[in-house]
Structure 1
């Protein structure tokens, strides 16, 4: 029996080593995500984004000004893109300066904004659940098309939400950030007019053959990755909004993931994501992390977010069906 104990002991040691290596690999993959790389020719340099969805931007221009929160901003540099009546503007050099306001007043306002509840955060650098909902509300144009710039802006706001929840969602955020930058780069390029809406982008890339260019990621392929991730987030928010006090966040996230994104991930990423979900906080702590408001307020905004994302997702889904792009590699 002595030899049997020796064999069992060796097998246990090997099993422990295999488990340890598997856990380490899972954590490494989860940390770095699927596709954190960013092609050098898509780098946007030192450009800055001024995003504002709570108030109307009354005027935009290279040497003009914009009224935000009833304050007039001078724009430095050349404004190369605008998001419409509400949305974002990119300027070539530096952040806009507040006219006739001291740096002290500006700093004081920023501090006041930072102390606002997370549901209604005014500072664009901070996550705001209400601003996230508002950003998706203006993605669709009056003609029923999806504005590419506003779509990218909404995705950026969505990444703030996932980043705030911790590295557990890094398998989404690490990949999505680079995809958002690629879409923004296409929109800012010389062919930018063809990328004004999702439909015009898909039509242009199909007609020109860009969709088949393996040397660089096309807009259609890039958006498809964001589109798939959006379904996971939409389903997760939908279940959270309808959840009861005894619901487990980890279980909801796990189920939504395996019904959506897991279909496109390799085995090791699926395992890493599954393990990570069990580190999510309780439902009460999860809602408090989103913002310190009454539970019914937070749940209402979460449900509204899911409902607001739905038409954007469905419209994108229809377009990919129309152009037969669902199976793009």
Structure 2
């Protein structure tokens, strides 16, 4: 009670963002990210997956108002990932060679950060704290896989400094309202499963349109 991050809210939004047709509904996806940002901001000041959801909301609003009208069916072009991708490609606001401000580009950054958080939670679910399996090591390892390949050298060095100041595993476990590792594993597995489903769907859509390496 009283903490900003609530695991039940995160699960609610992750489940509700998965449409029956395999698409991802953006409103619920971004609500889920609001919870993930609360979690990330609580455990570390590192701004790897920072206010990207706000960026995506602003980008979607600006681009839709300026270039992409509401479709003839009356639904927003930013209702889902698929509709956003198609609308932005049609409007020519996505560039595969130069950086442009688009919802697709911002979504890709969120997508990479989602993997970082998923890998971090997987590490936390797997066993007791130790020198080689501390929270700091888990976050660093997840960062090296998911985000470091896409970050410049200076940001990677800054991340290394932040990881040294992270709290221990117990602090992370308390955020999901458990006290012991044995209690944490089943709770974290449920969250990880939902994160994996959302990440897999988004990966498939971005890959289908060749958007996994947008500049």
Same fold, judged at TM 0.5 (above): yes
Native 8 Å contact 1:133 1:305 kept in 2:
yes
5+ residue gaps, structure 1, are 1-112, 119-125
Question: In 2, Cα distance between the equivalents of 1:257 and 1:193?
Answer: 34
Secondary structure of the corresponding residue to residue 106 of structure 2: helix
Query: Does 1:318 find its partner at 2:204?
Result: yes
1:263 alignment partner in structure 2: 149
| 1:8 aligned residue | none
Q: 2:29 and 2:128 mapped to 1: Cα distance?
A: 31
Q: 1:204 to 1:133 in 2, by over 3 A?
A: same
SS of the residue corresponding to residue 195 of structure 1 reads coil
Root-mean-square deviation (Å): 2.5
Whether the aligned pair in 2 keeps the contact of 1:138 and 1:150 (CA below 8 Å) is yes
Alignment partner, residue 40 of structure 2? 162
Offset, 1:235: 0.9
The alignment status of 1:172 with 2:49, answered yes or no, reads: yes
Per-residue CA deviations over 1:215-268 (Å, capped at 9, x if unaligned) read: 961111111111111111111111111232433111111111111100010101
Q: Distance in 1 between matches of 2:213 and 2:198?
A: 20
- Cα 1:141/1:206, change in 2 over 3 Å: same
Q: State the 1:204 CA deviation.
A: 1.6
Counterparts of 1:253 and 1:326 in 2: how far apart (Å)? 23
2:22 pairs with one of 138, 144, 148: 144
Larger radius of gyration: 1
Report matched runs for 1:123-134 at 5 Å.
Answer: 126-134=4-12
Contact 2:53 2:110 in 1 (8 A): no
Query: 2:61 and 2:204 mapped to 1: Cα distance?
Result: 25
CA distance in structure 2 between the partners assigned to 1:147 and 1:289 by the alignment? 27
1:181 maps to which of 52, 57, 66: 57
Partner Cα distance (2:205, 2:32) in 1: 19
User: Comparing both chains, which one has the higher relative contact order based on Cα–Cα distances under 8 Å and sequence gaps of 6 or more?
Assistant: 2
In the alignment, what sits opposite 2:116?
A: 232
- The answer (yes or no) to whether the contact 1:187–1:196 under 8 Å persists in 2 is no
Deviations 1:73-115 (A, max 9, x none): xxxxxxxxxxxxxxxxxxxxxxxxxxxxxxxxxxxxxxxx63x
1:212 aligned residue = 95
Aligned to 2:127: 243
- Tell me what 2:76 maps to: 193
Q: Which runs of 5 or more residues in structure 2 are unaligned? A: none
Bigger strand fraction: 1
Aligned residue for 1:194, secondary structure, equals coil
Q: Secondary structure at the match of 1:212?
A: coil
1:223 aligned to 77, 91, 107, which one?
Answer: 107
Alignment deviations for residues 176-221 of structure 1 (CA, whole Å, 9 cap, x no partner)? 2442433552697443622211011111211221213979611111
Distance 1:294 1:240 in 2: 11
Shift of 1:310: 0.7
8 Å CA contact 1:249–1:283 kept in 2: the answer is yes
User: CA, structure 1 residues 313+236, in 2 after alignment: closer, same or farther (shift >3 Å)?
Assistant: same
TM-score of the aligned structures, taking structure 1 as reference length: 0.57
